[in-house]
Amino acid sequence: MQRWHGLEEVPGDWGRSVVTIGSFDGVHRGHQLIISKVVEHARELGARSVVVTFDPHPSEVVRPGSHPPLLASHRRRAELMAELGVDAVLVIPFTLAFSQLAPEEFVKRVLVDALHTELIVEGPNFRFGHRASGDVALLAELGERYGFAVDVCDLTVGAVHGGGMDGEAVPCSSSLARRLVAEGDVAGAAEVLGRPHRVEGTVVRGAQRGRELGYPTANVETLPHTAIPADGVYAGWLTADGELMPAAISVGTNPTFDGTARTVEAYAIDRVGLDLYGLHVSVDFLAYLRGMEKFDSIDALLDRMAVDVKRARELTD
């Protein structure tokens, strides 16, 4: 899969494309439905499939300080898109000037001039152009003018139960996944995402209390704007150097030790002598075990940690 950063990197001889445009944070099940349709249409038409996304997130440029928590890094999103069979990902640097493009100018620059779009696939709520003034109806109108078709994807096909206030089925969305992650409902988030929620970062040195207690943890310095689950203890996996290891994961401030900094720490269950400092690792959250607690003694903490590790081992076996 090719990856371009900016319109100028699109090869001049790229040829015809089937395209979708969006932030695609998390590449959740709704996104997967759209992207799979792009790939399918491209094969049928003998064209190439392209996903167009933006960096930084448009909201941060239009409303500074409003950057949403991110469900996946751009690198992770590209990996997931490649698994779906996408031919290329175009990451457009989102600037204030770019945000001010009128809908037709946006279409002409991106879809017509750069990608020679034959068909674009979007969800019914797709918006584009200055102040998000363009919608799918305008997109279809511009398609007739510039020679491309529009396929509006029915996202209710990817609905999940329990996402709404009364437990009704709702379409998968990044905002729903973020809410579930923030609430610690990582099982619900996994249903929306189609896989466990992942946090990435570099392993850094912490207070090393886990090592002293017999449960050495990887202290993960997460990427900026990462969507981190609610404080608590979780079962999941730690991946380092391509190796997937069952893990008990702690998110919070370590209240037993009067900590103040919020951290993500993963204990690779039954692994001895791991040296992960400086490595880029990922932590996948499978299940919420309990909330963060302040224990009266180290012995009480150790007793509970033993229970947590036993439960995490069972769930990841």
Element (DSSP H or E) covering residue 260: none
Confidence of residue 289 (pLDDT cuts 50, 70, 90): very high
* Tokens 């392993």 belong to residue: 203
| Type of residue found at 51 | V
Task: Name which residue leads in pLDDT, 215 or 19.
Answer: 19
Nearest residue to 158 via CA among 33, 39, 23: 33
The rounded Cα 139 to chain-centroid distance in angstroms is 27
Instruction: Please state, in angstroms and as integers, the Cα–Cα distance from residue 240 to each residue in 47, 73, 111, 144, 268, following that order.
Output: 37, 17, 39, 50, 10
Nearest residue to 139 via CA among 177, 112, 115, 176: 112
- pLDDT tens for each residue of 189-210: 999 999 999 999 999 987 666 6
- In this prediction, residue 219 carries a pLDDT of 94
Q: Where are the alpha helices (DSSP H) in the chain?
A: 29-45, 58-62, 74-83, 96-99, 103-106, 136-146, 174-182, 186-193, 209-213, 298-316
- pLDDT tens for each residue of 118-151: 999 999 999 999 999 999 999 999 999 999 999 9
Percent of the chain with pLDDT over 90: 76
Q: What is the pTM of this model?
A: 0.90
Spatial distance between the Cα atoms of 221 and 225, rounded to a whole number of angstroms:
12
- pLDDT tens for each residue of 34-93: 999 999 999 999 999 999 999 988 888 888 888 889 999 989 999 999 999 999 999 999
Which of 58-72, 153-167, 270-284 is most confident?
270-284
Whether 167 has a pLDDT exceeding 80, the answer reads no
